[in-house]
Amino acid sequence: QVQLVESGGGLVQPGGSLRLSCAASGSIFSIYVMGWYRQAPGKQRELVAQIFSGGATNYADSVKGRFTISRDDAKNTVYLQMNSLKPEDTAVYYCKWVASRIYWGQGTQVTVSS
């Protein structure tokens, strides 16, 4: 069964940057949208960014201007470049792809702290 595998999380100081990657372990066809979500302790999971098959993107207001989502279809991978990180960005980040079914990754921890 095809799985999504995230990488790139870690500990970073405020103002720093991280790049998350989410790759499929096999081929997934007819992907409608790829997205990143996050869940902080005690909070609900929320949408961070998404990119549609036509290239359109959508961002949460809290990350606009700081985060950039991109995709490499040849590699079946979606990225999230996170700049100017803040402590409130601390969360587990999950990728979600919507194709003929919904795929979720296992999550990667991002901690922003001095």
Residue 61 reports pLDDT greater than 90:
yes
pLDDT at 70 exceeding the cut of 90 = yes
pLDDT (tens digit per residue) in 1-12: 889 999 999 999
| Nearest alpha carbon to residue 90 among 34, 48, 32, 54 | 48
pLDDT tops 90 at residue 29: no
Using pLDDT thresholds of 50, 70 and 90, give the confidence band for residue 30.
Answer: confident
In this predicted model, what pLDDT tens digit does every residue of 72-112 receive, in sequence order?
988 889 999 999 999 999 999 999 999 999 999 999 999 99
Q: What is the mean pLDDT of the chain?
A: 96
Q: Provide the pLDDT for residue 73.
A: 87
Using only the alpha carbons of the chain, give its radius of gyration: 13
In sequence order, what DSSP letters do the residues of 44-111 get, joined into one string?
--EEEEEEETTS-EEE-GGGTTTEEEEEETTTTEEEEEE-S--GGG-EEEEEEEESSSEEEB--EEEE
Express as a percent the part of the chain with pLDDT over 70: 100
